[in-house]
Amino acid sequence: MNSAQERKLKYHLKEVAKLLKEDTPEAQLQDFESIELAARKHMVDTVGPEIGEFFCQTATKARVENGDR
């Protein structure tokens, strides 16, 4: 990943973090342990599946374009 891509990634990750923080109850933002658990839950429930779906769609599209099944 080049430096421009890293900057772009960091920007978008911060924007995602803002959205996820807004969706996190205030009680889960009081100490490091609660914050870590909330962040992990967002990663497992929201972020991971979305990224996984994107990678699967990309792989499927590539296979179709290459004539693979």
Contact 49, 56 (CB under 8 A): no
pLDDT at 69 over 70: no
Distance between CA atoms of residues 56 and 54, nearest Å: 5
User: Does the global pTM surpass 0.75?
Assistant: no
pLDDT at 62 over 80: no
Decide which of 62 and 20 is more confident: 20
